[in-house]
Structure 1
């Protein structure tokens, strides 16, 4: 008896639960088959759990019909057909495709309205009905950009006139005066160079307040290597002033870079070492300045000393200055001293242009001039350059996504008894193609050309090594024209480790020795981000076009870049 009672109770509960959870079906009709087809095209929800959901869906459909022009639609009925079916009937009535909106031309100008409508007249404009929401939002955004963040905008007196046209009045309420940025407060990194606010971010006091523009411009702070934005900007509105607050922190922007290379000398078969030290100090004086120092010595008994100073936004102007001194010594053959002074103008965060003067002087060190191609000379060039820099802040391993540098120099080379017109052109560009989060391809193009009637050995370009074509000795190749392509396929094992291939191709001409060569470099490497910095290892083998591969031509390069 008890078992039978329990069974009855269980069956009752199961069937009751099923009844309470059954789906309710909704079908909505129009007054005509055409209206029903329009309703069905809006793809309303037909299955529901309860009557409240059905009523909400009918109301939602009414609202969607209103937005596409059926502003007179109304619900005729919602009736229950049976326990699981409900029918509703809507009357759509007329559809209005166009609305004629009257405006006050002393408050809103025609140029603003022309951005949202092709038909703007002296006191009204036309809109397609379904675009009303987006159009009003766009007008409101334009008004906000003009310094009225608390303005109100809406349509009033929406009627159908005697000509059966839908008309309305545009109402814009700006109850306060135009807002401007009265002051800018920096929190966290109070000594941040304020010239960067005015010329880099292009935000300054007495500027018309536009919050969207401020947010977009302050994101550029993360492109600076010496400062980061730690919090979105905030604004304090008072009755008579507007104060902008920026939250910044000073970043580690100094770095020390060096590498050690070694290979076998083909003549002595002895192991030889080469390397360089590269020091880069940035913003230590809180001025945004940069100081670079490079010293390089290689197995060809060549020494390079280079120092570079960049001072941005001199005297709070948009113009900065670059100063450079470079000394190169080739064993006991010659020395060359290059000096340049360039002014630069930062167009925006990614683009910069340069103009200046480059002077060079080379001296023959040989006691007896055994080479007619090494002669004392002086050159003076007018220099023009352009730089594009595109960072990618999301990657610690590869913080720069692409770079383009173009430079042209025009001037005169002076010898003891003659002078000669010359020109130089240089391009250096690279780009990282991110295939996905782990795979990427790095491609670099570097080329320089010297145009002259005659050429000297001590004025030729020098390339080769880890920063140009890998697998060759540092600065072992002299040319009057060269072009090279570096490629790497990179695979990130983690956020701090990557491995890569090396495929380098180069072509160069030497007008002094009348030679032309094609060069190839192949190898592999890896990078490891440690607490000390980025450690890189490269193994590459270089060869000429008609030369067989030899392991003795291989070069191993090790470098460490430390930020502090």
Structure 2
């Protein structure tokens, strides 16, 4: 069946046709519904006096209807009570707000009333209703009406929070991470937005939206969670050709993360790394959130680094942090370092015994994309500044250090994305020892170079990848890295580049990554023998 609708004039017909009403229908009930819907649309546009003339059956397949639009009203003056609606709310929807009325375009009435009602609901009145009464003609082009707010209840507050599915979920995360707690004014929209942030935690997931049980005198909030696999075992194997011996050399590391095994939200990490250059790293760190149910947490770290038979360096740090909200965190702490020269004969003055003590301030921003298993972090920024003294051979020297680590994923569409990471650090001092210099290079730094093979007093690098997801478990990517560093101990400056490709596969065992990269300096030629292959597997359990 076909429907044709005309107006009372050529202009009215043009207005009706511009609404793109449905012309083909299966039965008369569908035609009647379409005409009623069209009238409601015209009413919202300001044709509040529009009149349906008729619906006539022309033949077996065609129906004809006529709607007289009549006069269009542009603006409505809505009178309101200050006790019901704040003028500050009205300023977001109207350019003209007075003490007792505000103006709206007729086409904006529905959205404006929804907005006002949502703001009233945020104040703990979820059952409030809005309606316009005494609608009448003010003048030739304008209407007027009164806004009535029906809200006989008192404000609703959260009386109790019940967690279903993962009953041992650490309650401190509700109060300090999500900012949801009893005695808080009830606002379901805000609660739903906040609980979605639980998916950024690697030890708990939201399995469905929160629900509310209203009784006469109480409001009970139900949150549905499940405990997720949050422990991980990460490692990689790297191999390449030694430039001096032309022999194949291996390097790698093991990284164990244990998270929330005590249902406290705590984390523990153990790292052991053995590099190609006979460098060994042992690292242990622990994070304890929300101590004594406060918003304060602590990060503890012990790192031991040994370079062949030259020196050892021991770092210890303790940092207190405050979780501002789910994305922002600030730190303050202390870091101490002690390094010892292991050379029997002090044939060089660039390695020396020293001790340092720094005070640090840091800030972290973290935005997840929990829907993507392969790339769960969308953006991250970590900024840190440290200042203190270095003591060596009875001399005391002021030092400071600046560090930045930032990444961003630009999602072009569901399958294509661009990954950018910026990492750098600067050690500011009057003199430098070789064993206190910053170390970088490798799979987690500039790819195509040996792990921790580069020493610098200042460095900055950028990692870029173009990523293409074949499906939810396989992706391929390019590798284009660049870095600049300075070593003031040896008075050298250098530019570095890394090129290559890689892929990742999410298996039952975990995420397997393969990287092939070739590194070169600014003034050297490309050599295939300088290529590095890195394999890693991250398994969750």
TM range (shorter): over 0.9
Would you say the 8 A contact 2:459–2:483 is kept in 1?
A: yes
**CA shift in 2, pair 1:52/1:162, >3 Å:** same
How far did residue 561 of structure 1 move? 1.4
Residues 1:217 and 2:194 are matched in the alignment:
yes
How far did residue 430 of structure 1 move? 2.2
Match of 2:317 among 322, 326, 340: 340
308-317 or 187-196, larger mean C-alpha shift: 308-317
Residues 1:302 and 2:246 are matched in the alignment:
no
| Structure 1 segment 503-518 matched on structure 2, within 5 A | 503-518=480-495
Residue 282 of structure 1 corresponds to 259
Residue 374 of structure 2 corresponds to 397
Residue 537 of structure 2 corresponds to 560
Residues 1:140 and 2:102 are matched in the alignment:
no
Residue 446 of structure 1 corresponds to 423
Deviations 1:309-343 (A, max 9, x none): 11111121212111111111122222111111111
Residue 431 of structure 1 corresponds to 408
Residues 1:466 and 2:448 are matched in the alignment:
no
Contiguous gaps of at least 5 residues in structure 2: none
**CA shift in 2, pair 1:129/1:288, >3 Å:** same
Residue 108 of structure 1 corresponds to 85
Would you say the 8 A contact 1:260–1:559 is kept in 2?
A: yes
Would you say the 8 A contact 1:147–1:209 is kept in 2?
A: yes
**CA shift in 2, pair 1:557/1:146, >3 Å:** same
Residue 29 of structure 1 corresponds to 7
Deviations 1:113-172 (A, max 9, x none): 333223333333332222221121111111111111112221122234699963322211
| SS of residue paired to 1:202 | coil
Residues 1:545 and 2:522 are matched in the alignment:
yes
Would you say the 8 A contact 2:241–2:249 is kept in 1?
A: yes
Count of matched residue positions in the alignment of Structure 1 and Structure 2 = 541
Q: Please give the alpha-carbon distance, in whole angstroms, between the structure 2 residues aligned to 1:46 and 1:395.
A: 42
Residue 352 of structure 2 corresponds to 375
Q: TM-score, normalised by structure 1?
A: 0.89
**CA shift in 2, pair 1:240/1:24, >3 Å:** closer
Residue 226 of structure 1 corresponds to 203
Q: Please give the alpha-carbon distance, in whole angstroms, between the structure 1 residues aligned to 2:139 and 2:406.
A: 67
Would you say the 8 A contact 1:26–1:54 is kept in 2?
A: no
How far did residue 508 of structure 1 move? 1.7
Would you say the 8 A contact 1:26–1:47 is kept in 2?
A: no
Would you say the 8 A contact 2:239–2:248 is kept in 1?
A: yes
Residue 434 of structure 2 corresponds to 457
Residue 66 of structure 1 corresponds to 43
204-213 or 552-561, larger mean C-alpha shift: 552-561
Residue 463 of structure 2 corresponds to 486
**CA shift in 2, pair 1:215/1:85, >3 Å:** closer
| Structure 1 segment 262-273 matched on structure 2, within 5 A | 262-273=239-250
| Structure 1 segment 44-443 matched on structure 2, within 5 A | 44=21, 56-76=33-53, 89-160=66-137, 166-443=143-420
How far did residue 534 of structure 1 move? 1.8
Q: Please give the alpha-carbon distance, in whole angstroms, between the structure 2 residues aligned to 1:466 and 1:204.
A: 43
Residues 1:525 and 2:502 are matched in the alignment:
yes
| SS of residue paired to 2:111 | helix
Residue 6 of structure 1 corresponds to none
Q: Please give the alpha-carbon distance, in whole angstroms, between the structure 2 residues aligned to 1:510 and 1:67.
A: 70
**CA shift in 2, pair 1:373/1:125, >3 Å:** same
TM-align CA RMSD: 2.6
Would you say the 8 A contact 1:181–1:242 is kept in 2?
A: yes
Would you say the 8 A contact 1:24–1:50 is kept in 2?
A: no
Would you say the 8 A contact 2:366–2:380 is kept in 1?
A: yes
Q: Please give the alpha-carbon distance, in whole angstroms, between the structure 2 residues aligned to 1:470 and 1:47.
A: 61
Residue 19 of structure 1 corresponds to none
| SS of residue paired to 2:343 | coil
**CA shift in 2, pair 1:43/1:513, >3 Å:** closer
**CA shift in 2, pair 1:104/1:418, >3 Å:** same
| SS of residue paired to 1:138 | helix
Would you say the 8 A contact 1:359–1:380 is kept in 2?
A: yes
**CA shift in 2, pair 1:390/1:112, >3 Å:** closer
**CA shift in 2, pair 1:421/1:24, >3 Å:** closer
52-61 or 431-440, larger mean C-alpha shift: 52-61
| SS of residue paired to 2:113 | helix
153-162 or 392-401, larger mean C-alpha shift: 153-162
Q: TM-score, normalised by structure 2?
A: 0.92
| SS of residue paired to 1:489 | strand
**CA shift in 2, pair 1:382/1:73, >3 Å:** same
How far did residue 53 of structure 1 move? 5.7
Q: Please give the alpha-carbon distance, in whole angstroms, between the structure 2 residues aligned to 1:439 and 1:152.
A: 45
Deviations 1:412-460 (A, max 9, x none): 2222232222221112222233334333333322211111111111110
Residue 14 of structure 1 corresponds to none
**CA shift in 2, pair 1:385/1:91, >3 Å:** same
Which of these two proteins has the greater Rg computed from alpha carbons?
1
| SS of residue paired to 1:191 | coil
Q: Please give the alpha-carbon distance, in whole angstroms, between the structure 2 residues aligned to 1:59 and 1:228.
A: 45
Residue 7 of structure 1 corresponds to none
